[in-house]
Homo-oligomer: A and B are copies of this chain.
Amino acid sequence: MTDAFDYYLGIDGGGTGSRGRLRSKDGTLLGEAAGGPANTRLGVVQSQMQVDRIAREAIKAAGLPEAALKKTSAGIGLAGLHILADKEAFLEWEHPFGAIQISSDAHVACLGAHQGARDGGIMIIGTGSCGYGLVSGHSVNVGGWGFTLSDLASAAQVGLSALRYAIAALDGIYEVSPMTDQIMFRFSDSQEEMVLWTASATPAHYGEFAKLVVEYADRDDPVAVKLMSQCGSEASAIMRALAWRGINDITLMGSFAEKIEPWLEADVNALLVDGKHDAQDGAILLAGGRLPPPTMEH
C-alpha cells in the first residue's frame, strides 16, 4: 500500500529522549538523528516540534533535500500516547510528511522486537516499567501506571526501596549492610538530609540508586540481594501476566533490563526471546517500510 513512498522514517519518541532513522523503500539505512523528549503528556505541540526537528535532521544526515519529506512515510511511537485525547490532538498536526502513522512507544518497540509479527511481547524495564504485547495483532498492556502506583521492578522503584531500607536500618528497624551504610554516607549519615532531598527527587533520581543496588548485589550484600530478588520476582510476575494473555515470546528492553535478567524466576526464562530490531525500526514497520534481515544490522 505504501510502496508509493521513496523513504520511510521511524521515530521512537520517549520520555527522556527520542531517536529517528530514515530508510529507503528497499530498507537501506540512509540517516539517523536524535533529540529530546517527545512524551505527549509534556505537551502535544512540543512533541510535534521534536518529531519535526528529528525528521529534518535525519533527512539532512541522509544528504537529501527537505522536499524529500513529502516522499516520506513517517511512523512515530510516542510515550504518553495511551491518553486518547493526546493522540487525537497530535493528529491535528499539519505535518510535513507524505503520510503519518502514530502509536505508543511500547507498540513500535514491540513491532521492532518481533519484526512486525502479530504475536509477541516486550517488557520494558528502565526508570519505569511496562509490559506490552500483541495477540493476533490486538494489543495487551500490563502495568506501567507510573511511579506512585505501579512500575514494578523498575530502577526508580528499586532505588526508592533501597533508600527506605537504608533510613530504617540507621534507626535499627532493619539490618545494616555495606550497601545501607554507603547510601546513608551519600546523605552525610543524616536522615534529615535524605528527607529534604526527596522533596525535589524525580523517579530518575531514585533510579540512580538502583545502580548501587546492582553493584552491591554482585558483591553478595544481603540487603542488595534481597532487593534484587524482590525486583526479579516482580518482573517475573509481569511476564507471567503477559503469558497468561497468550504472549509467550517476550523481549526484555530498557536501561535496567539486563541488570534484572539474572534475577528472574526460573519458570519465566523460557518466555525470553532476543529482540530482532529496535524501536526506530519498529516505527519504520509501522510506516509500512521494509527492513534488512537482522543479521545485516550488527
A binding-site residues for B, Cβ under 8 Å:
83, 131, 141-143, 145-146, 148-150, 152, 160, 163-164, 167-168, 171-174, 191-192, 194-195, 198, 237-238, 240-241, 244-245
Instruction: Give complex CA distance A131, B173 in Å.
Output: 10
Q: B149 touching A195 by the CB < 8 A rule?
A: yes
A selection of 27 A-B contacts at a CB cut-off of 8 Å is A131-B171, A141-B171, A142-B173, A143-B168, A143-B171, A143-B173, A145-B167, A145-B194, A146-B195, A146-B198, A148-B160, A149-B163, A149-B164, A149-B167, A149-B194, A149-B195, A149-B198, A150-B164, A150-B168, A152-B173, A171-B241, A172-B245, A173-B237, A173-B238, A173-B240, A173-B241, A174-B237
| Across-interface contacts of A148 in B (CB, < 8 A) | 160, 198
User: Which residue in chain B gives the minimum CB-CB distance to A199?
Assistant: B148
Instruction: Give complex CA distance A163, B142 in Å.
Output: 16
- CB A188 to nearest CB in B, in angstroms, measures 15
Instruction: Give complex CA distance A148, B160 in Å.
Output: 9
Instruction: Give complex CA distance A198, B198 in Å.
Output: 18
User: Which residue in chain B gives the minimum CB-CB distance to A243?
Assistant: B172
Which of A149, A160, A198, A241 has its CB near the most chain B CB atoms (within 10 A)? A149
- CB A37 to nearest CB in B, in angstroms, measures 19
Instruction: Give complex CA distance A145, B194 in Å.
Output: 9
| Across-interface contacts of A143 in B (CB, < 8 A) | 168, 171, 173
Q: B172 touching A244 by the CB < 8 A rule?
A: yes
Instruction: Give complex CA distance A81, B245 in Å.
Output: 53
Instruction: Give complex CA distance A174, B245 in Å.
Output: 14
